[in-house]
Structures are given as structure tokens and as C-alpha cells.
Amino acid sequence: MNWRLCLVLLLRALTCVVRGQDDKMPPKMVSTFNNEYYYPRDSILIDATINCRAQNGQIQYEWKRNGVVVPNSQFIAIDRAIGTLKLVKMQNQDYGTYQCFAKNNFGTSLSKPFKVKESRLGSFPAGDPEEVRCKEFEHCKIQCRDKPTCLPDSQCRVEWKIGEGTKNNVEINKRVGVDGNGDLHFMWTNTNDWNGLQYRCGVWQEQRKMLAIGSATTLRIDSASTVPEREPISVFKENGKAMYGGKGVLRCMFSCYPAPDVEWISPTKEVIKDTDGKYAISDFGRVLTILQAKPEYEGFYICKGKGKVESGPQRVFFNVTSAPILTGVNQMRDLVVLVEKKATFRCEAESLPNEEPPTLPIWKKNGVDLVIDGGKYILSENSKVLEVTDVQKGSDTGAYQCMSENSEGVLLKEAILKVIDPITILERPLGRYKIMPGDVLNLAVVADTDPSLTLQYKWMFTDNQGNEKEIESNEYWKFSRPINNNLTIDVRLSTDPGIVYSLTGDYKLKIYHNYDQKFINVTIETDIITTGEYNKLINSQNDRITIYCTCIFYFKCPCSFV
């Protein structure tokens, strides 16, 4: 076999070994999960699979519900190899708090806990129809009475029906709308709204494709002798709330004849448009959606009804909230630490402004609570900093987690600690050498480090005038291949004393990888007196010195100075 081909195959094999050893790490969770999942009870589920994924090596997955391992059953299928949790048919005992654990030989990573809840729609109680009397051209509200429970809220909407059956919807337009409570509003009424038919409130649950109808109401409109002229009147407003990064909704309704427009003004006093990608205005101006909530969006928004005249301003508050968050730098960072050194993790959890502070962090390793004894593990700064002392490869490598919570949710952040062997120098050159023309000097270094890392070598040279540079291979400096751990100084073909002298000075080798470094220093000297040195010596001594020397610059010989 050609030697070049052998070399290529060997290098590839070494590369594969190094890459394979990189897999000797604890798992790192890469999946994200919702805070809540909703599934109906006793129904065959079509798309109810929750995926858990982690990286780093061969991983086995485990699911827990309320702290207990979830077994495979006829209603739940767990795939330990790929991490899927498939819900086939929900039973009462299957609802609860779930968490995924990803394990390999080096540690355990875990997901944040999330809840699986029942998706459901209740029913309206039986009852007789009620009558609502309103006056023509004025505001009129029909209440959605005894509205049933519908979960989750994102899958539910109110639809108003008129007459028998479920097909005839009340038309929603600028004059007619539904508020955040599900009540039906006429911004102004006309006699056609009194048609002898019942208005009925319907609640539609999208996930279950179910509709509940009730709260039957008859409407009577008293005729008006004149058409009123007045400013728009606020008949409904609703504050909004959203998780950091989520959507939030604010609502305002104004009655007037004719139905007014609605104008929205931000906390920074800017008139809100529906085209900037930050907001969406819908329901004929009555609904303002903040598309991606941020803390700076929190505050009071102004809504105004604009008819023939303008209404007084109405204030609605938008609250941006969040589970605890980590602020600042160096928070729960993955660490690679040398054996017997110290690892420090920071978990400075905070709540958003104007919210209750979070609980003090709880620290775990591989999903198990740490026993803080002031020895191996030390907490400081009000439990926000964890120190792992005198780290060892086998016992301290793993996934470390911190958990904190507030009224809005749970923070779980984890970081991997990998403990590695330091760089060790096995063979090294002496600290000082002399060279002469015709010499070959080999500065050989053998070093070792953690098997998962590759050493790099960098040679620097400082000449006798103090100029430093990185050494590059040339006629007199030659590096070993494929790594530069050996430097050869070769002046066998040189008889020029200036060349030899130019190679003398301080040599420094940096041996390093991303997490450690070592230095080797070697001084190279010569007994050669160069022409420059000779002239310098004469000039410095002026006429007081006579040099008796029969040597020619680069030959060693005794010289006397008088």
C-alpha cells in the first residue's frame, strides 16, 4: 500500500477517535416544551406525541409523571431510545406534571416540568329565556349567562346564534361585537334587532370540535322619537396580560350612533398603526394584540372612541410577565475544568419588574438534589452561586441544574461540567544550548493531555535585540510534521557567523488547547564573535585596549585585552 495512503487513513482514524471521545459528555437537553398541554379525556388521540431530544452520545430517555416513572401501557407509549411520549387515550391518572430525563454514562439532563391537563367543554345549565329591553339608537348588551368552563382558553371562542338550531350566527360588524366575557353588544340598536327570535350564546371548543349553547335571551327594542347626538361612551374595556415573548390582547368598546372608530395610543404616546409588525388591530378596532410581548411594552395604553366627536380617553393596562429569568453574563455556562480545580456556576434568577421575587435556587446534579455540606459543594451569594471544589473526572463530571419559580412559572437551567486532565510535559529540552556552524540542534517535546482534546504548539523567538516573532519554517528552522512539537535548528550548511548568531536568543514553546496551556523556555547561545560584535567591542574600548587575537571571527580562540 502506498505510504501516503496509509498516512491519510491513519489521520482519519485518529480524527474519528478524537471525535468519538468528544461524545464522552453528559447529555444536553435541546428540546423545548410548552408550559401546558391539553388533551380530552377518554378520546382516541390522533396527534398527541411529545418529543424529547438531547445531544451527546448514546442516550436513554425516561419520563416521569408527578415524580414517578411513567411505564408503557395500552394508553401511553414510551420510546426510551428516541425519547417520544405518545398519548393514545387519556385516563384520569394520566393528567399531571411531566418531566423528561435524558441519561448516558456521564450524567443526566432533564427538561423543565410541564403540565398535561384535560381539554374540556362544559354545558350551559337549563333555564328559561330572559328578556332584555333596550332603546333604539342606544347601546344594548345581552349577557352570556352561566358560561360553561372551556379549556384551554386558546381553543375556545364565543359565537352568538339567533333563532333555532346552530347555523344562524349573529353577524359581527362595526355595530355589533362580542366582548372579552362573551357578552353581545350592540353599539346602537335598530328595530330590526327585535325580530321575535331568541339570541343564544354558544361556546365553541376547537380541539374537541364541540359547541355548547345556552343563555337564551329575547330582545325588545323601544322606539326612539329622535336620533341622539352624543360623544362615544365606553361600554367595555379589558386589561391584557402576556408571557414574555407571547401574545397579549387589550379590548375597548364604545357605543355611539353611528358606531365610532377606535384609536389606540401606546405608553410612549404614539398612535398605533396596524402595519408596523409590532401590533395587530382587529374586530373593527376594538381589539389590540401585542404580537411579541417584551418588558418595555408593559404599561397603560389609551383607547378612544372617535365618532362625530371624540370620547374621553380610556386606560387599559398591559402586563408582561414571565417565569424567573437569568440576567447578566456567565449564567449557567457549560464548563471544562482541570482536575483538582474549582468549578463555579451562577444562577442569578430574577422576576420581571413589579413582580414577586423568585424563590432561591434549588441545585441539582443529574436531576438529583445536591446535598450542600460546605465541603465539596459550597453555596454563596444567597444560594445563587454554586462552587464545586477539587473536581475529579469520574465523580464530578455531569449535568448541573438550578431551579427557581415565581407565580408565573418555573425556571430550570442546566450546565455541563466536564473535568479533564491537565497538559503534562513528558519530555522536554534543556534550558540552555550552544550552537556553532555545522551543528544540528533538535528541540524535542513530548506532551500529553485529556484524550478528548488535541494539543497545539506555537514556537516564538526573541533575538538578542529583544524583537519577538512567531517562528516559521525556513532553511534553518524546521518543524516536525504533522504537529510542530519538535523544532530543529540546522546550520550544517552555513559558514556565515552572522547566520549562526542570528539564530541565538530565547525560544519559547506554547503548548495549549482551549482550556489549558504550558510553556517551555530555551536559550540558545554561541561562542562566535561576529564582525559587528568585534567592531562594537573595539569602539567601546577606544584606544585603551589592544586586542590580541589571531582567530577569524567564528573560530574559538583565546583573546587577551590590555
Over range 281-298, report the average pLDDT: 96
Is residue 100 a contact partner of residue 83, using CB atoms and an 8 Å limit?
yes
- Residue 1 domain-assigned (yes or no): no
Residue 529 pLDDT grade (very low, low, confident, very high; cuts 50, 70, 90): low
Q: How confident is the model at residue 167 (pLDDT cuts 50, 70, 90)?
A: confident
Grid coordinates representing 212? 355548547
Q: Which of 358, 389, 420 is the endpoint of a domain?
A: 420
**pLDDT over 80 (residue 348):** yes
The residue among 118, 145, 165 that closes a domain is 118
Q: Beta strands 49-51 and 560-561: pairing type?
A: unpaired
Give 306's strand partners: 261, 310
Cβ–Cβ < 8 Å for 310, 344: no
Residue 227 in any domain: the answer is no
| CB-facing half-sphere around the CA of 74: CA atoms within 13 A | 2
Position with higher pLDDT, 120 vs 540: 120
- Checking if the pLDDT of 228 tops 90, the result is no
Radius of gyration of the chain (CA): 40
How far is C-alpha 93 from the chain's CA centre? Answer: 33
Chain segment 507-526, per-residue pLDDT in tens: 999 999 999 999 999 999 99
**pLDDT tens, residue by residue, 60-112:** 999 999 999 999 999 999 999 999 999 999 999 999 999 999 999 999 999 99
**519 and 536 together in one domain:** no
Res 164 pLDDT > 90: no
* Residues 6 or more apart whose Cβ sits within 8 Å of residue 6: none
pLDDT, residue 352, reads 93
**Nearest by Cα to 526 from 427, 444, 438, 467:** 438
Separation between Cα atoms, residue 221 and residue 134, nearest integer Å: 5
The single residue listed with the C-alpha cell 477517535 is 17
- Whether residues 154 and 197 fall in one domain: yes
Looking at the domain assignment, is residue 184 inside a domain?
A: yes
- Containing 524, the helix (H) or strand (E) segment is strand 516-525
The 10 Å Cβ neighbour count of residue 364 is 19
The domain total for the chain is 6
70 and 11: one domain? yes
Shared domain for 367 and 437, answered yes or no, is no
> Which residue is associated with the grid cell 332603546?
135
Convert the pLDDT of each residue in 245-258 to its tens digit: 999 999 999 999 99
Q: Residue 403: which of 386, 381, 378, 419 has the closest Cα?
A: 386
For residue 405, being part of any structural domain is answered with yes
Q: Do the beta carbons of residue 47 and residue 94 sit within 8 Å?
A: no
Q: Which helix (H) or strand (E) holds 241?
A: strand 240-243
Does one domain contain both 209 and 126? yes
Residue 402 grid cell: 438550578
List Cβ neighbours of 44 (8 Å cut-off, separation of 6 or more): 88, 89
Asked if residues 338 and 420 have their Cβ atoms less than 8 Å apart, the reply is yes
Residues 66 and 41 in one domain: yes
- Both 13 and 102 in one domain: the answer is yes
What average pLDDT does this structure show over 113-136? 95
Last residue of a domain, one of 222, 257, 273: 222
Residues 127 and 216 both lie in one domain? yes
Is 91 part of a structural domain of the chain? yes
> Would the pLDDT of 373 be above 60?
yes
Measured in degrees and rounded to the nearest 5, phi and psi for residue 201 equal -85, 130
Would you give the DSSP letter of residue 464? T
2 belongs to a structural domain = no
Beta carbons within 8 Å of 475's beta carbon, 6+ residues apart: 490
Based on the domain organization, do 57 and 94 belong to the same domain?
yes
Q: Give the range of the structural domain holding residue 99, as residue numbers without chain letter.
A: 7-118
CATH number reported for the structural domain that contains residue 446 in this entry: 2.60.40.10
Query: Does residue 429 lie within any of the structural domains?
Result: yes
The grid coordinates listed for 490 are: 540546522
Q: Comparing C-alpha atoms, which of 220, 286, 289, 221 is closest to residue 259?
A: 286
Residue 397 in grid coordinates = 463530571
Mean pLDDT of 542-548: 41
- Going by pLDDT thresholds of 50, 70 and 90, the confidence category of residue 372 is confident
The DSSP call for residue 258 is S
Asked if 389 and 434 sit in the same domain, the reply is: no
- Tens digit of pLDDT for each residue in 184-195? 999 999 999 988
- Please indicate, yes or no, whether the overall pTM of this predicted structure exceeds 0.85: no
pLDDT for 262 beyond 70: yes
What pLDDT score was predicted for residue 12? Answer: 39
| DSSP bridge partners of 192 | none
Distance CA 308, CA 256 (A): 9
Q: 441 and 460 share a domain? A: yes
β pairing state of 432-434 and 516-525:
parallel
Domain membership of residue 442 (yes or no) is yes
Backbone angles phi, psi at 134, to 5 degrees: -135, 165
Over residues 316-321, the mean pLDDT reads 97
Do 466 and 480 lie in a common domain? yes
pLDDT higher than threshold 70 for residue 31: yes
